[in-house]
Structure 1
Amino acid sequence: MTAPLYNTEILRLAATIPHHERLDAPMASVEKRSPVCGSRVTVDLDLDAEGRVAQLGLLVRACALGQASSSLMAAHAIGRSPEELAAARDALTGWLAGGNGPPDWPGLSLFEPALPHSARHASIRLAFEAAAEAAEAARAGRAG
C-alpha cells in the first residue's frame, strides 16, 4: 500500500507557511506559475552583506502540495546562499524526475508519495524555483 498523497503533515505545513507576507521593497521578486494546475508562488527576498538570504516574503496561491513545499523552503531559506538555493532547486527537480533520494533539504522526503504523480511536480518545485531565481537576481542587482 502506498502512502497517501495528502497527509496530515502536508496539510499542517500548508496551513503554517512562514514569511507569508510580501516584503515592502525587496532586492528581488520572482513569481513562478505551474501551467498544469495554475498554482502560483511569489518570492521576495533580500540578501545580506555576505550574499545570503536575510529576509524573505511569500505570496502563495497553490494547492496543498505547493503550499507545503513553500512552507519547507521558507522555513530553511534564511541564511542560505544563492548557490545553496539553486542546488536545492536542481536536486528537487532531479529527484522528482526519478533521481536518487530526496534532496538535502529538511522535510522534502515528505513528498515521496508524489513521485509517481508527475502532474503534481510543478507545484512542488515552484517555491524553490522562485527562491533560487530571486536570490540570483538580488545578487546580480547588488553587484550592478
Structure 2
Amino acid sequence: MSNDSDLIKLYSSRILALAADIPHLGRLDDPDATVNRRSPLCGSSVTVDVRVDGDRLAEMGQDVKACALGQAAAAVTAQAAVGADLAQLQKGRDQLRAMLKGKGDVPDAPFAGFEVLTPAVEYKNRHASILLSIEALTEAVEAAQTAKAI
C-alpha cells in the first residue's frame, strides 16, 4: 500500500508544471488524421489531430481531458513529437509502456522527458491515462501515412 509521501512524489511540482503547460493544445483545421482515445478505467480522454510531411510529423494539435499524470504525459509527448518519424514515435510509445510495466528504462531521446513519470510505475491504475497521448499520436500518424499512400 502506498503512503502519503509516495503520492506527493507522484504529483511532483515537475509533473504539475508540465500539466499546466501542454504544448500544441487545440484542434487542427483539416488534419490528415484524427484519433480519439479514452481510458475506460478513469475516463481520461485525448483527441489528437496530425499533419504529416512524408514520414515525419509536421504538425499536431491535441485536446486533453485527463488527470495531471495524463496531462504531463501529453506535454512530454507534444514537446518531443513534432519532427519525429513514425519509427521514433513507435519506439517512444513502446519504451514508455515497458518503463511503466517495470520492464524497461526511461525512453530514449527525444522522449527522455517521460523520466518525470517514473514514480507512476507503482500505480498501474494510472498507466492507461499516461499512455493516451502517445498512443493516439502514433495511431494518428500511422493513419495519416496510410491515407496519403492510397
TM-score, normalization by structure 2: 0.92
CA–CA separation in structure 1 for the residues paired with 2:32 and 2:86: 13
- Residue 124 of structure 1: which of 118, 126, 130 is its match? 130
**What 5-or-longer segments of structure 2 have no aligned partner?**
none
CA–CA separation in structure 1 for the residues paired with 2:104 and 2:62: 29
Count of residues paired in the alignment: 143
CA RMSD of aligned residues (A): 1.1
- Secondary structure in structure 2 of the residue aligned to 1:60: strand
**What is the deviation of 1:107?**
1.1
* Segments of 4+ moved more than 6 angstroms: none
**What 5-or-longer segments of structure 1 have no aligned partner?**
none
**What is the deviation of 1:100?**
2.2
Q: Is the 8 A contact 2:99 2:118 kept in 1?
A: no
Deviations 1:6-31 (A, max 9, x none): 01111110010111010011001001
- Secondary structure in structure 2 of the residue aligned to 1:66: helix
The alignment-based identity, stated in percent, is 46
**What is the deviation of 1:90?**
1.0
- Residue 38 of structure 1: which of 14, 20, 43 is its match? 43
Deviations 1:86-108 (A, max 9, x none): 11111111111121211111311
TM-score, normalization by structure 1: 0.95
